[in-house]
A and B are shown apart, each in its own frame.
Chain A
């Protein structure tokens, strides 16, 4: 399978602080890769570099075989993201916000797309309510719908279910996987919900202090670390940040 994302020796330094330290990884077509690590490990910085919100200090990012630096707008039009730190405009209704983002992603048939997303994500009862009047969970749900306005080939999800109750979170996970698999795309997912990560991931990349300390399937990682679940691996990596599986 072709690599949708190829990150090579990616580094980000803020003065003397190295937030991301010489990180390399690939995400292949239809693959769901999760970034795991304690706070400050560099997960969000990596996602923000993929979104061009942060410029790397060193290294290369290729998406769909093209350098992100040289093809920014072209590549961002086939990617999308959602993150709890970036909500949709509070003073627009759900329908208006989805329409605005359909336009910003260059969707010509935006009316059809908005109707599809409202149906697909069961947003009919929220369609004419202002985003700012909704609960954080509902806003997150609309944020996920927004991430599909352009049927992205690469989806970056930074803690997408952080504010959702378990039932809604499970429904949305299923919906995200269905839509991405249908489009043959890939997902880079971060979360602190280990169960969620285990369920959705084909591969997990553990980060600690900006470095990759492990990169494998959930089952292989459990075998490597001799732990029964990801949470134990997470805790052991957090205790001994730069340990690697033997």
Chain B
């Protein structure tokens, strides 16, 4: 691992984000607007829900929203780091450089960590000021949950990059669609028990399901959801490995069939 290569990838993205107002808006704007949206929804749910559950609603829904945003941002920043190279027709320069695939992925992951941490430490004080939501009430469990949503974003980002390499720049929409596709099946805002039995079994393979189910267990029951954390981490590790193999395979295919040149032509 050459850390200059990793730093080069990271530095290139930091310049882009630091300078671009639309990118700063993508980083902080969406999450702020969505916080208001989910805040109002939560207020409304409070008025129609049982009075003894008021605090839980805020903690349940807004914590879920914040962690889902971290997941989305982790995935988006990872994928967009690569898509930037495609959009700016720079991708050939990257693949013809001595940067290894692992270094490229590590660079994108660092960009993702930096962006998600920034967004997390930006939105949690706002959520506290507006809704008295103290996400740190979850204690140190916040760390394994945060790590797991971050890593879930990475492997989906790796798969999205593989699809863009295989199908060309027009497949960039998939990078934004995949997390959206996972949202209803990840039990973010409702428990897994609302799914039909078969879907409950199928969604077991989603790390995000275990993350959000585990978070709910901490909030509603105050129990240690070690099973959820272990399942989420195990599945994430497996999917990171599979995602990396998938990207490797797509790149090999792209080199065999000449798709890499197409990335700057489409």
Contact = CB atoms under 8 A, between A and B. Distances in A.
Contacts of A53: 92, 95-96, 255, 260-261
A52 B255 contact: yes
B238 to A, nearest CB: 27
A87 interface: yes
Contacts of B8: 100-104
A92 B95 contact: no
Interface string B75-91: 00000000011001110
A229 to B, nearest CB: 32
Contacts, number: 100
A88 B88 CA distance: 8
A211 interface: no
A85 interface: yes
A104 B15 contact: no
Contacts of A88: 90, 93
A96 interface: yes
Contact of B88 (A51, A90, A105): A90
A89 interface: yes
Interface in B73-124: 84-85, 88-90, 92-100
A83 B92 contact: yes
B259 to A, nearest CB: 9
A45 to B, nearest CB: 8
Given A86-B90, A91-B20, A101 B258 contact: no
Contact of B4 (A72, A81, A83, A106): A106
Contact of B260 (A54, A77, A89, A99): A54
B97 A105 contact: yes
A102 B9 CA distance: 11
Contact of A106 (B5, B93, B257): B5
Given A85-B264, A86-B92, A89-B12, A104 B99 contact: yes
Contacts of A106: 2, 4-5, 98
A85 B97 contact: no
A91 B256 contact: no
Contacts of A45: 258
A91 B98 contact: no
A45 B256 CA distance: 12
Contacts of B252: 55
Contacts of B5: 103-104, 106
Interface in B5-21: 5, 7-9, 11-12, 15-16, 19-20
A107 interface: yes
Nearest to B97: A104
Interface in B104-157: none
Given A51-B96, A76-B96, A104-B9, 20 more contacts: A48-B261, A52-B96, A53-B255, A54-B260, A55-B256, A76-B98, A85-B265, A86-B92, A87-B88, A90-B88, A91-B19, A91-B20, A92-B12, A99-B11, A103-B4, A103-B8, A103-B11, A104-B4, A106-B5, A132-B88
Interface of B: 2, 4-5, 7-9, 11-12, 15-16, 19-20, 84-85, 88-90, 92-100, 252, 255-258, 260-261, 264-265
Instruction: State the 6 A-B residue pairs at the shortest beta-carbon distance, nearest first.
Output: A103-B8, A86-B92, A77-B98, A51-B96, A76-B98, A104-B8
29 contacts: A14-B257, A48-B260, A52-B95, A52-B255, A53-B92, A53-B255, A54-B260, A55-B252, A55-B255, A73-B99, A73-B100, A76-B97, A85-B92, A85-B261, A86-B90, A87-B90, A88-B90, A89-B88, A90-B88, A90-B89, A91-B20, A91-B84, A100-B8, A100-B12, A103-B5, A104-B5, A104-B8, A104-B99, A146-B93
Interface of A: 14, 45, 48, 51-55, 72-74, 76-77, 81, 83, 85-92, 96, 99-108, 110, 132, 146
